[in-house]
Amino acid sequence: MIEREIRVLGNIAAYYGLGLIQQPNEPGNGPEDHGGEILAPDQEIGLLGEQVIFDREVEDARVLGLGPGAVEWVSQAAPQCPYDIKTVRRNGTGYADHYLEVKTTKAEGDPNVYISSGQLEFLKDHEMSSSVVIVRFNAQEQVTEIRDLNLHELLGEFDLVPIKYKLHRRG
């Protein structure tokens, strides 16, 4: 838990140009300096995908005449939240909150991403104000594709394959 909090603070510091906390790829902060422990690749690439979409949404908010405060990177402070980024979309009367769950992959073909039952329920409950963003990177960690899918588009294109079941005592 502490490691995640340090990463969050490092990301905030890096975003605001504070340079207060070493990032994992900086000298003196690599796996050899921490007993061989490194972040799992899917966590690293997931964070990178969220960063790309967060930056995109901040720029979109700026174009709309809104400040960067109109966009929140929620998963940095609340990792169990069913969405990663709270942003805004223009509607008929102004602006409305919109929620993005970012899924990141390096896989070609099927995206090889997972969606939790809580995330799926959130998408159903907020069908008009939420979407899943699939960010695909190549081996050099360059973005090759970004797709925004609402729940209808997601379920129309992908099958949901159950891989876990919660045990509930009978009786």
- For residues 74-78, average pLDDT: 95
Per-residue confidence band for 155, with pLDDT thresholds at 50, 70 and 90: very high
SS3 27: coil
Asked whether the predicted pLDDT for residue 33 surpasses 50, the reply is: no
pLDDT at 52 over 90: yes
Name which residue leads in pLDDT, 73 or 10: 73
Q: What is the DSSP string of 1-12?
A: -HHHHHHHHHHH
Supply the pLDDT for residue 111.
Answer: 83
What are the chain's domains?
A: 1-39 (no CATH), 42-157 (3.40.1350)
Strands (E), the chain: 72-73, 85-91, 94-105, 130-137, 143-149
- Amino acid making up residue 45: I
Residue 42: predicted pLDDT = 64
Euclidean distance between CA atoms 41 and 14, whole angstroms: 20
Q: Which residues pair with 102 in a beta bridge?
A: 133
Check pLDDT > 50 for residue 114. yes
Which strands make up the sheet holding 94-105, listed edge to edge? 72-73, 85-91, 94-105, 130-137, 143-149
Residue 32's pLDDT is 41
State mean pLDDT over 61-66: 94
Looking at per-residue pLDDT, the higher value among 51 and 1 belongs to 51
Distance separating alpha carbons of residues 113 and 105, to the nearest angstrom: 7
Q: Are 133 and 121 in contact (CB under 8 A)?
A: no
pTM for the whole thing? 0.73
Is the pLDDT at 36 greater than 60? The verdict is no
Asked if the model's pLDDT at residue 8 lies above 80, the reply is: no
Single out the residue of 67, 41, 52, 40 nearest to residue 146, CA to CA.
52
> So what's the pLDDT on residue 96?
95
SS3 content of the chain, % helix, strand, coil (to 5): 35, 20, 40
Query: What is the structure's pLDDT at 15?
Result: 60
